[in-house]
Amino acid sequence: MATNVEVTDSVISGNHQTNSVNINGKDIKKDRIPAGLVRRHEERLARVEKMKEQRENEKVVQESADYFAKTFNAQRSSIEERLATANNVAKSNLRDFFDDITEVAQKLQKYATDMTQFLPSHDIQSAQNNLTKLFDSINEKRDELLPKKKFAFKVRKRGDGEANKQQQAQKIGLDVVDAPQPSKIITENAAGFVNRTSENLSLSAEEIYLKDVSLSNLSSCTVKLPGSPSALHISNLSDCKIFCGPIPGSVFADKCIDSTLVLACQQLRVHNSKDAKFYLHVTSRAIIEDTTSVLYAPYNWNYDTLEKDYEESGLDRSKNAWDDIDDFNWLAHDKHSPNWGLLPEDERVQEWD
Q: Which of 99-113, 141-155, 190-204, 232-246 bottoms out in mean pLDDT, i.e. has the lowest?
A: 141-155
Q: How far apart are the first and last CA of the chain?
A: 87
CATH fold label, 181-347: Pectate Lyase C-like (2.160.20)
pLDDT number for residue 57: 55
Q: Is a pLDDT exceeding 70 seen at residue 159?
A: no
CA distances to 54, 202, 254, 257, 299 from 285, rounded to whole Å, are: 31, 28, 17, 22, 15
Q: How many residues does the chain have?
A: 353
pLDDT tens digit sequence for 6-56: 444 443 333 444 456 555 555 655 555 667 766 777 777 777 777 766 665
Three-state helix/strand/coil letters over 1-54 = CCCCEEEEECCCECCECCEEEEECCEEEEHHHCCHHHHHHHHHHHHHHHHHHHH
Domain boundaries, the chain: 63-145, 181-347
Burial call 306-342: b when 16+ CB within 10 Å, e when fewer: beebbebbebeeeebbbeebbbbebbeeeeebebbee
* CA–CA–CA angle 207, 213, 214 (5° rounding): 130
pLDDT tens digit sequence for 216-230: 999 999 999 999 998
Contact 232, 211 (CB under 8 A): no
Contact 237, 259 (CB under 8 A): yes
Domain 63-145: which CATH number of 1.10.287.3510, 1.20.1260.10, 1.20.58.1250, 3.40.190.10: 1.20.58.1250
Cα dihedral across residues 28, 29, 35, 39: positive or negative = positive
As a whole number of angstroms, the distance between CA 243 and CA 241 comes to 7
